[in-house]
Amino acid sequence: MAKTIRLEPLHEDQRRVYRGLGRRSVLRCGRRWGKSALLEIASANWALRYGWKVGVFAPDFKKSAPSFRNLLHTLRPAIAQSSKVEKIIELKNDGLIEFLSLQDPDAGRSRKYHRVLIDEASLTKPEMQHAWEQSIAPTLLDYAGSAIVAGTPKGVNIENFFWRLCNNEGLSEHWDAFHAPTFLNPHLPASELATIESRTHPLVYRQEYLAEFVDWRGVSLLSLENLAPGGKGVPFPVGVDYVGAAFDTALKDGQEHDGSAVVYFARNSMGTPLTILDWDVFQVQANLLPERVPQILARLNELAKQCGARFGSSGIYCEDKGSGTIVIQHAESQGWPVQAIPGDMTALGKDARAVACSGPVFRNEVRFSQLAVDKQTLFKGIMANHLIQQFCGFTLADAQAYKRADDLFDAAAYSILVTLNPSF
Domain range list for the chain = 12-203, 224-420
Query: 115-118 and 96-101: which strand pairing?
Result: unpaired
Model confidence over 384-396: pLDDT tens digits?
A: 999 999 999 998 8
Contact (CB, 8 A) for 293 and 300: no
pLDDT level of residue 403 (50, 70, 90 thresholds):
low
Task: Check pLDDT > 70 for residue 117.
Answer: yes
pLDDT level of residue 250 (50, 70, 90 thresholds):
low
Model confidence over 61-102: pLDDT tens digits?
A: 999 999 999 999 999 999 999 999 999 999 999 999 999 999
Model confidence over 329-359: pLDDT tens digits?
A: 998 999 999 999 998 898 888 888 999 999 9
d(CA 275, CA 73): 47
DSSP-derived letter for residue 138 is: G
pLDDT level of residue 324 (50, 70, 90 thresholds):
confident
Question: Would 12-203 and 224-420 be classified into the same CATH topology?
Answer: no
Quick one: three-class SS letters along 309-340? Answer: CCCCEEEEEECCCCHHHHHHHHHHHHCCCEEE
- Using CA of residue 265, residue 266, residue 272, residue 274, what is the dihedral sign? positive
Yes or no: domain 12-203 corresponds to CATH 3.40.50.300: yes
* In the chain, % of residues over pLDDT 70: 95
Q: Beta-carbon neighbour count of residue 148 at 10 Å?
A: 27
Arithmetic mean of pLDDT over the chain: 91
Model confidence over 259-298: pLDDT tens digits?
A: 889 999 999 999 899 999 999 998 877 677 888 899 999 9
pLDDT of residue 423: 60
* In the chain, % of residues over pLDDT 90: 74
For 224-420, give the CATH class. Answer: alpha beta
Q: How far apart are the first and last CA of the chain?
A: 45
pLDDT of residue 401: 59
